[in-house]
Amino acid sequence: MLFFVARTFYLLHSVRKTRQMKDPRKTSSRLSPSTSLANVTAKPLKTLIVLGSGGHTTEMLDLIKNLNQDRYGPIVLVVANTDTTSLQRVQAYPYPLPIQNKDNLIDSRRNTKNTSNEHQVYRIPRSREVGQSYLSSTFTTFYSFLFALWLVGFQVQPDLVLVNGPGTCLPIAISAFFYRIVGWKPDTKIVFVESFCRVTSLSLTGKLLYPIADLFAVCWEQLQEKHPLTYLVTAFIPKTKSGKEYC
């Protein structure tokens, strides 16, 4: 038990040190002498992306359309089991996405599989539905975390978890960090991109994941000033003021 407590504090300290770097993309200095940078950067990262209903999905699609397909792949999507719109948004998105066969996404509600698209989309139980009582949400949250542990640790085993704030992402990100603690997937990285609409304060999900995200991005300077261990986004979601782009 003491080992896992010590391991947790060590990882939290390592995350903090990484986020204190001026440019979090420059990680070559943290590689061991025996590690080849060329080999690290050449290996594609299996990327798990959580989609949330509404604006979260729109922002995530705008973010991932710029991902290098040779660097980030395969892409695995996770949606809530009661989300009826996110996959439709993916299919209807007018720009190229680094997702194979996006027009043929699995509908796991029918338990069907397509061999060319297997394991591309997973559904996870919601921790709490809108209007659900806090008492009953205790049980659904526990079930959601158990499901996320199985999904992250055994079914997907991602190299990168990319999330932007929907409640569905919370058990996924915490599960990834848990497996780093126990040493099952010690190299899995967590990237959190705060929603564009969060101007002066973090979302609840952002506050909970702030200590464990290897890279925590925000879109507004006001928010970065309050939380200095964040990375100011400059290209994910363009916004203008008086005709000038400032995010």
Spell out the domains of the chain, with CATH numbers in brackets. 44-98+134-247 (3.40.50.2000)
The DSSP 8-state label assigned to residue 216 in this structure reads E
Question: How far is 140 from 153, CA to CA, in rounded Å?
Answer: 20
User: Cβ(144)–Cβ(132) under 8 Å?
Assistant: no
Per-residue pLDDT of the chain (247 residues; tens, 9 = 90+): 888 899 999 999 999 988 887 655 555 444 444 443 344 456 889 999 999 877 888 889 988 888 888 899 889 999 998 888 888 888 888 888 888 767 667 554 444 344 344 448 899 988 766 666 666 677 778 889 999 999 999 999 999 999 998 888 999 999 999 999 999 999 999 999 998 889 899 998 999 999 999 999 998 889 999 998 999 886 554 545 444 444 4
User: Cβ(48)–Cβ(156) under 8 Å?
Assistant: yes
